[in-house]
Amino acid sequence: MADVAGLGALTFIYLITPEAEGGRGMDKTKAGLLMTTLGMVGVCAAPLVGMAVDTLRQKRALVACGLSALPAAMGYSCSRVAPSPSGRSSACRG
């Protein structure tokens, strides 16, 4: 689903960019396999999640859980790029 928003190409570029330049340093084959796997998992999980949402009576609770998970996900993302004791720069610094 990220490909629809155009994030798939950016994620691929991030994965193959060398670590010295701020990327992950993967080779193109592994990055492509990872992106393909993520896409297939998303396609396979979508009907199951949709069916679970359809059977759930308390949809507001589901929305509240999803919204409460956003700050946790953002905090985790920032912790992954936060400066290390060696003084690496942080993308989350204001």
Residue 55 has pLDDT above 50, yes or no: yes
C-alpha to C-alpha distance for 16 and 94, rounded to whole angstroms:
27
Please give the pLDDT value at position 56.
85
Comparison of pLDDT for 12 and 92, the residue scoring more: 12
Please give the pLDDT value at position 94.
43
Please give the pLDDT value at position 2.
47
Q: Go through the chain and tell me how many residues it has.
A: 94
Residue 91 has pLDDT above 60, yes or no: no
Minimal CA–CA distance to 66: which of 53, 51, 78?
A: 53
- Whole-model pTM: value is 0.58
Please give the pLDDT value at position 65.
84
